[in-house]
Amino acid sequence: MDELASLELERQHRSANGWLVLQRLPLGRDIPLRDLYFRAKNERGASPWRCRLEGARLVVGSGAALSFDTYFGAFFERNWRGPTALRSLVLALRANGSFALRVLRRLAHGEELLLHEDVLTEFEGRLSLPIPTPPIQAGGGRLFADIIARRGGCSIEALEWCTPDTAFAPVGLVPVFCTFGREEQLGRVLATIAAEPDCWCGLTRIIVVNQGRPGLIAHPAIAGLPTAFRARLAVIEQGNFGGAGGFTRGLLAARDIPGATHAVLMDDDVAAEPEALRRVAAFFAIARPRQALGGHMLDILRPTRLYEAGARIDERKWYLLPLRFDLPLGDPRSLDALTQPEPMHYNGWWFFGLPLTLLAETGLPLPCFIRGDDVEYGMRLHELGVPIVGQPGVAIWHEPFYTKLNGWQLYYETRNMLVTAAIHFPRNRLRLAVLLLKRLLLYLLTYRYYSAALVLRAIEDYLRGPSVYEMPPQEIHAALERYKAEFPPEEFGRERVPRERPLLRDPRTLRGFVFRIVWAILRNWLLPTSQTVTPVRIEARDLVWFRVALLDHIAVETHWDARLPVFRRSPPAFRRLFVNGSRLLVRVAYGGGAVCRT
């Protein structure tokens, strides 16, 4: 890192009195997101709504009550104290006017402890409140401030959580983006970051690996960024090697940048919170050695809900289990679930930070094109004893995975999960065949034949062994397109009226479950399908085989698709895919062990 960048980094991370700033409260955010930053409270005799934003200043009218017990406003102590060398902590508040101030610590089980209470009249300037260190056994909780404006009101200009005496090391943080044909989306992400110099001036470089149309730097979405910001951009042009190839190239480039110490992997189609980058740099400045950080994924369609905070892998079923799935962050009671850090196997690479020194120890990501590179690399870190801490308040907004009902990505998810499981969770090959049979029937008995074909191709390629990663991606994509042509997608317009039919009840006993699945297989094999033109509408949550077993033609209400996806039962397709799948699974049962050993 050159001397100018080093000085800028230190300035960005220190408060006016020289303390290290760990978190700042961003103000001036969009109205739908404000409950994530500050929240109006109903105090007795107080009006909660008399507040407004003037630029980045929060003006609070007389009698209004505000709480900063919010996702971006609170300080989650355990997520900082455990993985870092944090010593003392101070709340720094820059404000004007008359107000009552309370500082509280909320423990993981919900108990609140009042740490400070004061009434300030005609105050102007900066207020610094030392936070008592919790007992080691308690480990801390969630720290936040509440403010009630008094006569004349007040204004809040800054709220920061700082440490005055924790030693910190210079951090050369390098965000790495991988993009393919998303110039406009990437431009919006970079423009959001560029609009807040306090969050990017300390960055060593910003690497963009372009795998789509050449000449990204000249695209209007990139060329229109501020000159000073573009000076930090390093654009690498290469062929399309998927997310795994793009991020790997970015990590290699970051490792070669003088002064670079850490990288943050980010998707190109997210909505960014620039403050998250500043918090990541502050975290790594005091983090213990060999520590990785996972950013949360918020639901871009429902932006005050947490979609995932890292994930674990169910070793028995090979399912991915997202942590804190679908948590409503606008409700302060939901934040209790984030107060106690949870161990994880991996964090998605929509936002994932790590020290570059780990690359020498862990190696590079698997060349698995897309889907699964983050899972396998996370498992590798986990087995090497490198913890990944999920950090509330370090997050992006991303399109949720529930919008991808029948996409080609399923091929990569299945194939790469099989490879990851073979490396990290080797198991009896007969049990593997049974598990894959269940996965295949999941799609066949809900009439998703394209998805079933993708699963079978994934199993077939898995059985090829490591050589599958040497296959040209274009060859694989051509095969996936042929499956799509064989099982073309159908849609149902929202302007049309669907049919309504009752669904079968869920089986309640093992005997009932076995009977239902045997009957469903025989029905799909033997009975012809009805030729109804209008499908039956079902909710996406009801797209399970034992509920739709009497239906032949269904339209799935997702609530996000412009037109409803349609699936129709086809006995010929079922028979062919079931037979092909049975042959493949026999190969898995007899030869799957050899694949694991390679």
**So where are the chain's domains?**
25-163, 409-597
Q: What percent of the chain has pLDDT over 70?
A: 94
Cite the beta strand spans of 28-169 per DSSP E: 39-41, 51-54, 57-60, 65-67, 75-76, 89-106, 112-131, 142-163
Residue 94 pLDDT: 94
Q: Is the pLDDT of residue 561 over 90?
A: no
User: What pLDDT is stored for residue 361 in this prediction?
Assistant: 94
Alpha-carbon distance of 102 to 145, in angstroms, equals 6
**pLDDT-derived band at 180, boundaries 50, 70, 90:** very high
The residue that leads in pLDDT, 283 or 427, is 283
Quick one: pLDDT at residue 560?
83
The answer on pLDDT for 316 being more than 50 is yes
* Percent of the chain scoring above 90 in pLDDT: 75
Task: With cut-offs at 50, 70 and 90, classify the pLDDT of residue 2.
Answer: very low
How large is the average pLDDT for residues 138-155?
Answer: 90
Measured CA to CA, the distance from residue 434 to residue 193 in angstroms comes to: 48
Q: What is the pLDDT of residue 328?
A: 96
Is residue 267 a contact partner of residue 245, using CB atoms and an 8 Å limit? no
pLDDT at position 16 is 55
The answer on pLDDT for 450 being more than 90 is yes
More confident residue, 6 or 121: 121
Q: In what order do the strands lie in the sheet with 564-568?
A: 490-492, 564-568, 553-557, 536-539
The mean pLDDT value of the chain amounts to 91
- The residue-averaged pLDDT of 340-358 equals 95
| pTM (two decimals) | 0.91
Give 42's pLDDT tier (boundaries 50, 70, 90). low
Report whether 127 contacts 92 (CB < 8 A): yes
Assess whether pLDDT exceeds 50 at residue 318.
Answer: yes
Q: What integer pLDDT is reported at residue 5 of this predicted model?
A: 46
Report the length, in residues, of the chain.
598
Answer whether residue 251 shows pLDDT above 70: yes
What local confidence, expressed as pLDDT, does residue 590 receive? 83
What whole-number distance in Å separates Cα of residue 473 and Cα of residue 469?
9
pLDDT band at 197 (very low <50, low <70, confident <90, very high): very high
Whether pLDDT at 444 is above 70: yes
Compute the half-sphere exposure of residue 176: CA atoms within 13 Å on the CB side of its CA.
28
Domain 25-163 architecture: Sandwich (2.60)
Residue bearing the bigger pLDDT, 319 or 525? 525
Lowest mean pLDDT among 43-52, 347-356, 530-539: 43-52
